[in-house]
Structure 1
């Protein structure tokens, strides 16, 4: 009887849990493929070099004559803080929301936001800072007179930005289509996993410069 009861509960759980829309599993490989094509088969590196060098940012940083480790690891330190404080906490708030606790007050909110509201705010902010941080990383590479986009760190970085944009689109769409919520949760987990890989590749790149 106990075994039969567990089986019935498991089947009921399967019925109650909606299937995850395919976008959650299609988006990551598509983002990686597009990012690879963008990095390897486009003149993006030349365009960024022309723009950033043309505005004098690398020379400005060289003239400041900071210690070498500043140019080498400042980008990494900044992004690690954002990934941990905003991305990590924001992801946890997302899981809390998925578990049905999204209406509870969120710890650390200065405006009294709920867990669901702060999740959206933190992840949107993290995405924008990652975009700005990517430009900062490119600027420091040019400051150190290094070649752009030779590491897979660049590919995962562009893919990560694409997935953040996809997640934002899903978050907007699922307001009118709750069936997309499982896709948002699953893709969010994959996105954070890719972020960890991106960080590891960044450390490897930094150690090799």
Structure 2
């Protein structure tokens, strides 16, 4: 019976012995490999590099444009164009765009959409208004290149006048104005903001035109 009880005695729980190294010393734990942490100084340096690269990228885009415009200005200067055309060609074209596409197409027709009670007039305005607004933006962008070449052909500084500054601001605001139309369906206030914001942009371009006239008379 003793032998039988001994045979059927539950086995004691086995305890794993710690592994031992080649030198016979116990190995308590093995660390899981982890990715090396980036030092704070290195992270700060990376942020500084990114903030430094931003204006460098902008300058990299401006310099080729300036070189392109200078090359075009040098070419057109060899054609013997009349001085009055070089000086007043850009202002004349942009005045037509501003009043025909801007004041009438964007301003007048835009407000007729909001205020008119004539369904036929509203339908015509809704058809023409976005087309003329897009056309004005495109012609203003192309006109900015033409005006820059005109300044270079006359040996003037390209980007230092108030006329240039208001033109750049106006083009940026036109892009934002166009984006507002994407929110007409979701936000009922977007149409009102679009109308008043567009009127403010047209006022800015009137100031831009006055500064351009002043600049042309000073050349």
Question: TM-score, length-normalised on structure 2?
Answer: 0.68
Structure 1 CA distance for aligned equivalents of residues 92 and 165 of structure 2:
20
The one of 130, 140, 145 aligned to 2:150: 140
Structure 2 CA distance for aligned equivalents of residues 181 and 102 of structure 1:
19
The one of 64, 67, 70 aligned to 2:85: 70
The one of 194, 197, 208 aligned to 1:184: 194
Is 1:93 equivalent to 2:109 in the alignment?
yes
> Structure 1 pair 77/44, CA: closer, same or farther in 2 (3 Å)?
farther
- 5+ residue gaps, structure 1, are 1-37, 107-112
Q: Rg: which structure is higher?
A: 2
The list of structure 1 runs, each at least 4 consecutive aligned residues, that deviate by more than 3 angstroms after superposition, is: 41-47, 100-103
What SS does structure 2 have at the residue aligned with 1:150?
coil
Contact 1:131–1:161 (CA under 8 A) maintained in structure 2: yes
Is 1:130 equivalent to 2:137 in the alignment?
no
Q: How does 1:20-169 map to 2 (within 5 A)?
A: 46-53=63-70, 56-90=71-105, 91-101=107-117, 103-105=119-121, 114-169=124-179
Q: How far apart are 1:136 and its partner, in Å? A: 0.7
- How well do the aligned residues superpose, as a CA RMSD in angstroms? 2.2
What SS does structure 2 have at the residue aligned with 1:64?
coil
> Structure 1 pair 44/205, CA: closer, same or farther in 2 (3 Å)?
farther
* Total equivalences in the alignment: 162
Contact 1:87–1:122 (CA under 8 A) maintained in structure 2: yes
Question: TM-score, length-normalised on structure 1?
Answer: 0.71
What SS does structure 1 have at the residue aligned with 2:158?
coil
- 5+ residue gaps, structure 2, are 1-54
Structure 2 CA distance for aligned equivalents of residues 183 and 102 of structure 1:
23
